[in-house]
Amino acid sequence: MAENTAPPAELPERTKEISAEDGEKGPSKSALKKAAKDKEKAEKAAKRQAAEDAQKQASEANDISKEAYGDLPMLGSQPYLPPKEKVPRVRLDEIAEEYKDTSSMTEKGGPEIVFRGVVENARAQGAKLTFITFRQDADTIQAVVAESETLSRQMVKFAGKIPNESVVLVHALVKKPLEPVKSTTVQHLELHVKKLFVVAKADQQLPMQVADAERPIPGEGEEEKPTEEEGGRPIVTLNTRLNNRVIDLRGKHNHAIFTIKDGVINLFQEFLRARGFIGVNSPCLLGAPSEGGASVFEVKYFNTKAFLAQSPQLYKQMLIAARFEKVMEVGPIFRSENSNTARHLTEFTGLDMEMAFEEDYHEVVSLLEELILSICEGLRTRYKKETDLVRSIYHVEEFKLPEAGKVPRLPFSEGIAMLREDGVEIGDFDDLSTPDEKRLGALVLKKYGTDFYVLDQYPLNIRPFYTMPSAETQAKYDPNNPNAGLSNSYDFFMRGQEIMSGAQRIHDATFLEKRMKECVTPVDPQSDGLRDYVNAFRYGCPPHAGGGIGLERIVMLWLGLPNVRLASLFPRDPGRLVP
């Protein structure tokens, strides 16, 4: 039936037509009654529509601002504004800096700026005034949309209804506020809006607020609870935040975290490139598990299987054998460990390096010490703003760093002795537990005045098969106890937490095969995943050593984050593969 779809004005004719089409049989009484009712309804609707149209027309006719606000079309292939109005967009941080001195600003004047920003929130104050807080990156600024001779009440109303988080294009005058604005990052300026266009409208209801993202998550073991200062706002758990990571990431401190994360990569590459390292990309897809099969992910690979690399270790070494003297790699690392802790991810970013040395693997240890100091120094100077921002939420003490060349390099045995002296019961060749490591960190800080130190010459039995036994251990070799003694391996610690692990590797194929068979968890040198690796050392390979850093862990530690997931854009753990 056409009743409800025909436009109201044409309804009478249309009703007639239907009757005619129905042919000989006349309309029933009830049909006639219905038609009359419909007619009445339609007439009412038409009146209502006409009234609305008239009001709108009148409103538009007397809307002096009608060209100055509204929703922009979505297209991106033609200018939003007439070409003559195409003006460069500014950055709020630059404006804040440029107009640091507001003494010369008059009540009336002020430069006009155009920028794209986000509505953090819009508050209508009656019909004549709307306040908006605009955000652009980490900067927020207060703006007023006030009715005036040149700005209509309709525009004020429009401004007050823009949903939070919408992207807008703003033309505004820069003014000195009557008194400094307390709620924004730019406090010495405010904006008087002249034009206001919505580029991309956000939904009215978002699954969480950006402000929620900017509150700290509790530390491990602590309970999640609304803080007093926040006025008891409901808790948004880490899980909810990660489920809505796109909104969560909008938090200012999150931008700072990932700027710093990129900064660590940048500093790592810069330091090593300046020393002749080249960046390499080793494969993630392997034909067989290479470093013990327990924590490796299996991939369907056409008609066979592949495995995801648990580290670029074997490939870094093969590249040394291929005469690349100094290699570094930034790439994903995959660990199929079913650990649901604040410190484990199944996918993270590895910063790896490996280099040939001349006489002594301590040449490499020295370079790595310099590298870590250089990264910290770079973070401290180039990423101070971001570091301070994050540390304003997650409070952490500044690292106490030694001078270059003065990093304490303690033999493992000395670490054990210090712990024993402090009352810890531990054997000469036992691995350190996490609490032991933290305790030793505190002891080292007390004795040497630094949060950063190196523990050298770990017991052979707790290191991987490719680790070079120390000279003394090789000289005292006992076939009945082949894993006794120490190795040329080291861990780097920051405030009692391991940040890097490394070693001299075995560069002789025959000796490597022997160690593979004799080590605590023997592996088969002739297995598919290891054959090519072992063979690489039959072709003449120089002595070499290296190390690997877990990027997310460094970021977490630098910023005092309570959970490593906060240092991953889209974290992956045994229970999370989305978003």
Task: Give the one residue of 4, 20, 24, 76 binding its own copies; rule: CB under 8 A.
Answer: 76
Angle among Cα 291, 294, 296 to the nearest 5 degrees reads 70
112, 337, 347, 370: which one is catalytic? Answer: 337
Q: What is the 3-state secondary structure (H, E, C) of 62-112?
A: CCCCCCCEEECCCCCCCCCCCHHHCCCCCCHHHHHHHCCCCCCCCCCCCCE
Task: Give the one residue of 134, 158, 268, 361 binding its own copies; rule: CB under 8 A.
Answer: 361
Could you confirm whether 343 is annotated as catalytic? Answer: yes
Q: Is 197 in the site for its own copies (CB under 8 A)?
A: no
CB 138 within 8 A of CB 389: yes
Within residues 368-387, the interface with its own copies by CB under 8 A covers none
Q: Of 26-34, 123-131, 150-158, 315-323, which part binds its own copies (CB under 8 A)?
A: 315-323
Any idea of the CA torsion for 332, 336, 337, 342, to the nearest 10 degrees?
A: 40
- Closest approach of its own copies to the CB of residue 403, in Å: 24
Q: Give 8 or 571: the residue with its C-beta nearer to its own copies.
A: 571
CA-based torsion, 418, 422, 428, 431: positive or negative? negative
Task: Give the one residue of 159, 321, 401, 556 binding its own copies; rule: CB under 8 A.
Answer: 321
Within residues 210-269, the interface with its own copies by CB under 8 A covers 245-247, 249-250, 254-255, 258-259, 261-262, 265-266, 269
- Closest approach of its own copies to the CB of residue 542, in Å: 5
Any idea of the CA torsion for 292, 298, 301, 303, to the nearest 10 degrees?
A: 90
- Closest approach of its own copies to the CB of residue 223, in Å: 28
Neighbours of 110 (CB within 10 A): 19
CA distances from 322 to 116, 195, 278, 503 (A): 51, 63, 13, 19
Q: Is 306 in the site for its own copies (CB under 8 A)?
A: yes
Q: Is 274 in the site for its own copies (CB under 8 A)?
A: no
The SS3 of residue 19 is helix
- Closest approach of its own copies to the CB of residue 230, in Å: 22
Task: Give the one residue of 62, 227, 239, 338 binding its own copies; rule: CB under 8 A.
Answer: 338
Any idea of the CA torsion for 17, 20, 26, 29, to the nearest 10 degrees?
A: 0
CA distance 156 to 165: 18
Q: Give 151 or 379: the residue with its C-beta nearer to its own copies.
A: 379
Residue 13 token pair: 């004719």
498, 505, 513, 515: which one is catalytic? Answer: 498
Q: Is 448 in the site for its own copies (CB under 8 A)?
A: no
Neighbours of 75 (CB within 10 A): 8
Could you confirm whether 498 is annotated as catalytic? Answer: yes
Q: Give 453 or 537: the residue with its C-beta nearer to its own copies.
A: 537
Could you confirm whether 135 is annotated as catalytic? Answer: no
Neighbours of 366 (CB within 10 A): 17
Q: Give 350 or 496: the residue with its C-beta nearer to its own copies.
A: 350
- Tokens 């937490």 correspond to 497
Any idea of the CA torsion for 525, 463, 552, 357, to the nearest 10 degrees?
A: -80
Burial of 500 (0-12, 13-18, 19+ CB in 10 A): buried
Within residues 108-137, the interface with its own copies by CB under 8 A covers 116, 118, 137
Task: Give the one residue of 1, 20, 61, 74 binding its own copies; rule: CB under 8 A.
Answer: 74
Task: Give the one residue of 12, 331, 378, 562 binding its own copies; rule: CB under 8 A.
Answer: 331
Q: Is 523 in the site for its own copies (CB under 8 A)?
A: no
Q: Of 33-41, 53-61, 394-402, 571-579, which part binds its own copies (CB under 8 A)?
A: 571-579
- Closest approach of its own copies to the CB of residue 249, in Å: 4
Instruction: Provide the residue count of the chain.
Output: 579
Q: Is 349 in the site for its own copies (CB under 8 A)?
A: yes
Q: Is 426 in the site for its own copies (CB under 8 A)?
A: no
Q: Give 178 or 246: the residue with its C-beta nearer to its own copies.
A: 246
Of all helices (H) and strands (E), which one includes residue 511? helix 509-518
Q: Is 514 in the site for its own copies (CB under 8 A)?
A: no
Q: Is 324 in the site for its own copies (CB under 8 A)?
A: yes
CB 488 within 8 A of CB 505: no
Q: Is 474 in the site for its own copies (CB under 8 A)?
A: yes
Could you confirm whether 337 is annotated as catalytic? Answer: yes
Reported for 39-44, long-range contacts at CB under 8 A and 24+ positions apart, including other chains, are 39/11, 39/12, 39/15, 42/8, 42/11, 43/8
- Closest approach of its own copies to the CB of residue 318, in Å: 5
The residue type of 243 is N
Q: Of 44-52, 198-206, 219-227, 394-402, which part binds its own copies (CB under 8 A)?
A: 198-206
Q: Is 278 in the site for its own copies (CB under 8 A)?
A: yes
Q: Is 90 in the site for its own copies (CB under 8 A)?
A: no
The residue type of 354 is E
Q: Give 151 or 353: the residue with its C-beta nearer to its own copies.
A: 353
Any idea of the CA torsion for 201, 203, 208, 213, to the nearest 10 degrees?
A: 0
Q: Which residues make Cβ contacts (< 8 Å) with residue 140, sequence separation at least 6?
A: 120, 133, 134, 183, 184, 185, 186
- Closest approach of its own copies to the CB of residue 22, in Å: 28
CB 463 within 8 A of CB 433: no
Q: Is 492 in the site for its own copies (CB under 8 A)?
A: no
Q: Is 411 in the site for its own copies (CB under 8 A)?
A: no
Task: Give the one residue of 30, 77, 103, 104 binding its own copies; rule: CB under 8 A.
Answer: 77
Q: Is 359 in the site for its own copies (CB under 8 A)?
A: yes
Could you confirm whether 335 is annotated as catalytic? Answer: yes
Q: Which residues make Cβ contacts (< 8 Å) with residue 2, sequence separation at least 6?
A: 14, 18
Q: Please count the residues of this chain forming the interface with its own copies, following the rule CB under 8 A.
A: 113
Catalytic positions are 335, 337, 343-344, 498, 501, 553
